[in-house]
Structure 1
Amino acid sequence: MTLEFIGIDPETQQQGSPTVWVDAEQKELVFLGWKASPALKEQCEQNTAPGHATEIPENEDVIRFPTRMIPILREACDAAERAGLL
């Protein structure tokens, strides 16, 4: 797997750093983010798509990103599109 680094939280202080990569081989965006609190996970489970399972599967998790990273997330989407991953 080759990851293309896209960006890191611009306010990082060398720790706790949400980060975004593009994995062209797997056709995925890869995120490192803050763990969601149990209360937030519960809210996500209660606010799911109609007809969709409400429990978070063991192989998934809820992560959080600061809104200041929206430009970085857009850049990741653009990089994936340029690479023809859509």
Structure 2
Amino acid sequence: MALRFVGIIPNTPDTESPTIWLDEETGDLLIQSYKATEAEVKECQEVGSIPGHSTAVPDHETIIRLPKIMLQFIPKPDSE
């Protein structure tokens, strides 16, 4: 895996540091951010996604809250 640092919340305190890295081999993003609260997870489950798709969050997945300011660091696909 070849990771590249992409961005961190500007002026972030030392103890809170939502961060984004890019796996240059796959194009995947690795994101460190705030865990969604139980209420937020419940709301996501109530809204759902596509008909017939489970709203359960598997043990190997999680829901995170990505601060709006971090969107500037998400790379655009090569086609854009």
The interval holding the TM-score normalised by the smaller chain is 0.7 to 0.9
Instruction: Name the Cα RMSD after superposition.
Output: 1.7
Gaps of at least 5 residues in structure 2 are none
Q: 1:11 to 1:48 in 2, by over 3 A?
A: farther
How far the C-alpha of 1:59 sits from its partner, in A, is 0.8
Q: TM-score, normalised by structure 1?
A: 0.79
| Higher relative contact order (Cα pairs below 8 Å, separated by 6+ residues) | 1
Distance 2:27 2:66 in 1: 21
Q: Deviations over 1:15-61 (max 9, x none)?
A: 21100011022331110000111111111111121221111111110
Percent of aligned positions with the same letter in both sequences?
33
One-letter amino acid matched to 1:69: M
Gaps of at least 5 residues in structure 1 are none
Instruction: Indicate which of 69, 77, 81 corresponds to 2:78.
Output: 81
Distance 2:68 2:35 in 1: 15
Aligned residues: 78
